[in-house]
Structure 1
Amino acid sequence: MIFERLRLVNFRNYRDVVLSFSPRVNVFLGENGQGKTNLLEAMYMISQGDSFRYSDNSTLINTNTSESVIQALITQNDLHYKLKLGLSKSRKVLTLNDKRVNSADIRKIFASVVFSPESLSSIKEGADHRRELVDELLVTFDRKNAQLIADYRKALKTRNKILKNFLEGLQDKVVTQNLLESLNPQFVRLATDLTHARITALHGLSKDFNNAMQYISGNSSVDISVEYLVSDQNAVSFTREEVENAITKRLRELHDAELSSGTSLVGPHKHDIVFLYGQKDSRFFCSQGQQRAIILSFKMAQIVYHRKAHGTYPVLMLDDVLSELDKAKRDALITFLHEINTQIFVTTTDFTLPESFSLDQLRVVRIKDGQILE
């Protein structure tokens, strides 16, 4: 997969810019707050359907305008794809070769992996950050999982709407319970499928994850493992049937609590992932540097696994990550990037960084205040 060209119209701090790229390494260079990350965000959105930053549509649209547009030309397996994403405050319209598609459709075709300061901090942040890491892995593991994730989110949204309507007095208890009983079989099936898919993907990544951690840390004896928590119980070895039983049981137990809270309290949107370093919970027993090394290794393993599964590497986007790492980890990551044949995008304020790549196919794009300085 190669980004050939990108155009942004009224996206964040860009009025109207067009960029072409090197098929190998592209460095977005500039001071903080100039729009480097905005470029990566646009590229990720057009190839994955969603942002890797927490934002709503209104924050994506340039001030004093009502709509923004992202357009891209992507080449993959000698095929050319024309993508367009139109954004207004209330809607998002995504097209592929002039035909309307959804995010799941796009994620089945294109693969992008983002390294960001937020992702490197996901161990000490909330469980939603760690779930995002694993769901990104799911699509690497099997691109059909993009549809599974979308289907689960849709069922969850419907279920939450039913519970919210009851809490707000828009429907009585009998109607609410009847609606939940009709929806729950589908919800449990999707929740079970998604949970089991996460567990399967984590098992599949285990060897590459340990290898990457040993490479980054320079310690061949370091041991990394993962726990997948369902209602505070480690379910990493659960069969699909055991997952289904656990979710069904928990739904019964929290039925009244869900009615009282007006939201779904059971399902993979409530699960957690714990990274163990030497059999100890990395949230409490690892330094910040070790935590970053774990997530860095996790994403490196995801890239290696993608190559094994699909025969190609995903596009890599590094958002000011190298400055977050100490010299040893930074050098190890750059060496790793040199060894893989894929398109790479890097944002940085470090004007010496391009020298670290020393590649013929290197493009440096200087950015200032939403303007491209050629």
Structure 2
Amino acid sequence: MIFEKLRLVNFRNYRDVVFSFSPRVNVFLGENGQGKTNLLEALYLISQGDSFRYSDNSTLINSNNQQALIQALITQNDLHYKLKLGLTKSRKVLTLNDKKVTSTDIRKIFASVVFSPESLASIKEGADHRRELVDELLVTFDRKNADLIADYRKALKTRNKILKNYVEGLNDKILTQNLLDSLNPQFLRLGADFAYARISALNGLAKEFNNAMQYISGNFDVDISVEYVISDQNALNFSREEVFFALQKRIQELHDAELSSGTSLVGPHKHDIVFLYGQKDSRFYCSQGQQRAIILSFKMAQIVYHRKAHGTYPVLMLDDVLSELDKGKREALITFLHEINTQIFVTTTDFTLPDSFSLDQLSVMRIKDGHILE
């Protein structure tokens, strides 16, 4: 997959600008707050359908405008794709070769992996950050998982609506119970499939994960593992049936609590992923540098696995992460990037960084206030 061109109209701090890219390494250079991350976000958004930043449509549209546009030309396996994303404050319209598609459709075709300061901090942040990390991995393992994630989210949205209507007095308890009884079998099936897909992906990545951690840390004795936590229990060795019964039991236990709270308290959206370093919880026993190395290794392992599974590497996007790493880990990551044959996008404030990629076909764009400096 190669981005050839990108056009932004009223997207964040960009008015109307067109970018052409190198098929290898592209460095977006400039001071903080000039639009480098916005540019990276647009690339990710058009190829994955969602942003890697927490935002709603209104924040994506340039102030004093009602809509924004992202267009991209992408080449993959000698085929050419024209992507277009129209944004208003209330909706997104995504087209591929002039045919309307969904975000799920796009993720099944194009693969992008983003490294950001937020992702490197996901160990010490909330469980939702770690779930996002693993859910990005799921599509690497099997493109059909994009449909599974979308189907589960639809069922969860419907279930939450039923519970909310009860709390707000729109439906009585008998009707609410009948609606839940009708939906729960599908919700539990999708939840079990989703959770088990995560478990399978984490188990499948274990070898590459350890290899990457040894590489990035320079320590061949390091021991890295993960736990998939369902109701305070490590379910990494559960079968699909055991996952289903665990969810079924929990949904019975929390029935009254769900009715009181007006939201679903059971399912993969409540599960956690714990990264262990030397069999200890990295949230509490690792330094910030070690935590960053763990997530960096996880994403590197995902990239290697993607190559084994699909024959190609995903596009890589690094949002100012090299400045977050110490010298040893930074040099190890740059060496890793030199060795993989894919398109890479890097944002940085370090004007010496392009020298680190001197062996590659390199394009450097200086960004200032939403413009490319000549």
TM > 0.5: yes
- Offset, 1:359: 3.0
Match of residue 315 from structure 1: 315
Rounded to whole Å, the distance in 1 between the matches of 2:98 and 2:361 is 31
Counterpart of 1:105 in structure 2: which amino acid?
A: D
Match of residue 237 from structure 1: 237
Deviant stretches of 4+, over 4 Å? none
- Offset, 1:361: 1.2
Deviations 1:268-318 (A, max 9, x none): 000000000000000000000000000000000000000000000000000
Match of residue 203 from structure 2: 203
Rounded to whole Å, the distance in 2 between the matches of 1:232 and 1:98 is 47
Say whether the 8 Å CA contact 2:315–2:343 is kept in structure 1: yes
Residue 214 of structure 2 is aligned to residue 214 of structure 1: yes
Deviations 1:237-292 (A, max 9, x none): 00000000000000000011000000000000000000000000000000000000
Rounded to whole Å, the distance in 2 between the matches of 1:373 and 1:84 is 25
Counterpart of 1:267 in structure 2: which amino acid?
A: G
> Which SS does the other structure have where 1:341 is aligned?
coil
Deviations 1:17-63 (A, max 9, x none): 10000000000000000000001100001000000000000000000
> Which SS does the other structure have where 2:169 is aligned?
coil
Deviations 1:148-184 (A, max 9, x none): 1111111101110111111111111111111111111
Match of residue 188 from structure 2: 188
Rounded to whole Å, the distance in 2 between the matches of 1:39 and 1:173 is 49
- Offset, 1:360: 4.7
Quote the RMSD (CA, aligned, Å): 0.5
Rounded to whole Å, the distance in 2 between the matches of 1:11 and 1:33 is 14
> Which SS does the other structure have where 2:318 is aligned?
strand
Match of residue 42 from structure 1: 42
Residue 144 of structure 2 is aligned to residue 175 of structure 1: no
Residue 84 of structure 2 is aligned to residue 78 of structure 1: no
Match of residue 228 from structure 1: 228
Say whether the 8 Å CA contact 2:338–2:360 is kept in structure 1: no
Rounded to whole Å, the distance in 1 between the matches of 2:333 and 2:360 is 19
Rounded to whole Å, the distance in 2 between the matches of 1:282 and 1:117 is 17
* Residue correspondence of structure 1 range 140-155 to structure 2 within 5 A: 140-155=140-155
* Residue correspondence of structure 1 range 279-298 to structure 2 within 5 A: 279-298=279-298
- Could you tell me the TM-score, scaled by structure 1's length? 1.00
Match of residue 104 from structure 1: 104
- Could you tell me the TM-score, scaled by structure 2's length? 1.00
Match of residue 341 from structure 1: 341
Q: Which runs of 5+ in 2 are unaligned?
A: none
Say whether the 8 Å CA contact 2:217–2:293 is kept in structure 1: yes
Q: Which runs of 5+ in 1 are unaligned?
A: none
Match of residue 268 from structure 1: 268
Say whether the 8 Å CA contact 2:25–2:360 is kept in structure 1: no
Identity level (%): 86
The number of aligned residues is 374
